[in-house]
Amino acid sequence: MSTLNITVSPADDLIDVPRRIVVTGAQPGELVQVAGRTVRAGAAWRSSARFVADAAGHVDLTLAPAVEGDYQGISAMGLLWSQAPEQPGKRELFHADVLQPLTTALEVTSASGQAQAELSQRLCAGGVTRREVREQGLVGTLFLPAGPGPHPAVMILNGSGGGINEARAALYASRGYAAFALAYFKAPGLSDYISNTPLEYFQKGLEWLRATVRPLGDFVAISGQSRGGELVLLLGATFPRDVSAVLAYVPSALVHSGQNACDPAIGREGPTWLLGGKPLTHQWENNRHASWAPFDEGAPPHRHVLAMLTALQDKEAVAKARIPVEKIDAPVLLLSATDDGSWPSSIYSKMVSDKLDEVAHPHAVEWHDYQDAGHAILFPYVPTTQISYAHPVSGRISTGGGEPAANAHADKHSWQHAQEFLRNAIGAHLARSAQPSRKEVS
C-alpha cells in the first residue's frame, strides 16, 4: 500500500496566488517525481521534475530544488511555468470562457508508491461579472468586481495579435478594478488588421468606461502590451486629461508602422495610427537605415528586433516618430525585457524614462527591465516555454526571446509591481482630487 501523499495549499484560488505543494510519506533520500497536466483551451500541457526527499521523507516544492526535469533549482510554481503543450504549436493558455478554472492534475511517483492531487487556478473571483460590449462602435468585454463600488477602472489593450484580452481584464476585476478589455482589430465587427486605426476610437472607449462604471475618484488607468504598450503611451500623450495612469508592457517609445499586423493591401510600412483622419509619422517613414533584411533573411525563428535596430540608426527619423511622452499627465509604469525578440523594449523604455526624467515629470515613473526575459510578459504562474510562434496575423515564425525561468520571474515580479503601482497611483490621484482648488482657497 502506498504511503505517499501530496497536498496543495490553497488547492483552489486565483491564478496569481502561489501554492505550497508538499509530498509526504517518501523514504528519506528517495528520488521523487512530481508531474503536472493541465488542459488549456482543449489542449493538454505537461511538466515533471524530480526531487530528493528530505530526512523526514518530505518534498516541499517551496524549499526543495528540482534535480532533474523540466525546470532546475527551487521554484514553488515551477511545475506550472515549465509546462509545454503535448501537441507542438499550441499556445493558448486559457479557456475561451475565462470564468472556467484551469485545473492541474498532479501525480507523485516514487519507489514508495503513487499519489494524486488537483490544483485549480481561477481568473475570476467569486462575484465577478462579465458583460460583452457591442455599442457605440466599441467591441470589448467589461468585467466588474463583486460589490457595489465605486471601483477604480482600467482599460486593457492587446498587441499585434489583436482580439480582446479577457484574461487580464478578468484578473484585474478579481483584484478590485472595473476592467474593460477593448479590442481594436481582429475581433467581431472590426478590421482584421491594425492598419489605419483611429486614436479617437480609444478616447470613445475611455469616455464610455467612465460613463458606464462611474469609477472611484474618476480614476481610469490604461494598460497595454507590445503594440498596446506603444498605444497606451501614445494615448496618454494625446489625451492626457482622460488617462489617470499608464502601464506599458514591453512598449515602444516610437510610433511604428503596421508591421506584421498590417493589412497586406497597405503593407507593413503603411500607417498604424490615425488622428483627425491623418496618419501619424512612424519610424519607417523616410528612414535612411531601416531594413527588413535582418528579420526576413536567415532561418526561423526570426527576430523582429533586428530590423527595428536598423531603423534606430536614423536619428532624424526616430525624432520625428517619437511619442511625446512628456505630455502625459499621469504616473507611468514601464516593463521591458533585455532579450526581447520582437523589438528593443529595453532601449525604448530607457528613451521614455530618460525623457520623463529630463522634463521632471510631476508624477511617479517606474521602470523594471527584466534580465534574460523576452517579449511575453503576462502575470504569474502560467507556462513560459513557448517562445517561438507563428504570428497570429502574418503567420511568420518568430521568437519573442527570453528563457522560460527568466520569463516566469518577469511574469511574477511585473504583476506584483503593477498592483503596487496602481495602488499608489490611485492614492495620489484621490489625494490630488481632495485638495481644494485655488478658487476655493481664495
Look at residue 440 and tell me if it is in a domain: no
Rounded Cα gap, residues 372 and 80, in angstroms: 19
101 and 232 assigned to the same domain: no
146 and 79 assigned to the same domain: no
Instruction: Name the residue with higher pLDDT: 112 or 10.
Output: 10
Look at residue 118 and tell me if it is in a domain: yes
**Domain count across the chain:** 2
CB 95 within 8 A of CB 40: yes
pLDDT in tens, 87-131: 988 999 999 999 999 999 999 999 999 999 999 999 999 999 999
Q: What is the pLDDT of residue 442?
A: 40
My answer on whether omega of the bond before 88 falls inside 30° of 0, hence cis, is no
Residue 413 backbone zone (phi > 0: left; psi -120 to 50: alpha; other: beta): alpha
Instruction: Name the residue with higher pLDDT: 409 or 394.
Output: 409
Strand-strand pairing, 245-249 and 68-69: unpaired
**Which residue, 27, 15, 74, is CA-closest to 49?**
74
370 and 395 assigned to the same domain: yes
* Cα 247 to chain centroid, rounded: 10
In this prediction, residues 173-197 reach a mean pLDDT of 97
Whether the per-residue pLDDT at 438 is higher than 50: the answer is no
Rounded Cα gap, residues 61 and 109, in angstroms: 15
* Cα 432 to chain centroid, rounded: 29
Among residues 122, 137, 152, the one where a domain terminates is 122
Q: To which H or E segment does residue 126 belong?
A: none
pLDDT in tens, 282-334: 999 999 999 999 999 877 888 999 999 999 999 999 999 999 999 999 999 99
Residue that is written with C-alpha cell 494625446 in the block: 238
What is the average pLDDT score of the chain? 95
275 and 410 assigned to the same domain: yes
In this prediction, residues 165-191 reach a mean pLDDT of 98
Query: What band does 439 get if pLDDT is binned at 50, 70 and 90?
Result: very low
Whether the per-residue pLDDT at 1 is higher than 90: the answer is no
**Residue range(s) defining the domain that contains residue 351:** 129-426
pLDDT in tens, 361-398: 999 999 999 999 999 999 999 999 999 888 878 777 88
Strand partners, 81: none
In this prediction, residues 261-268 reach a mean pLDDT of 95
CB 105 within 8 A of CB 81: no
Strand-strand pairing, 113-122 and 68-69: unpaired
CB 322 within 8 A of CB 237: no
Q: What is the pLDDT of residue 257?
A: 97
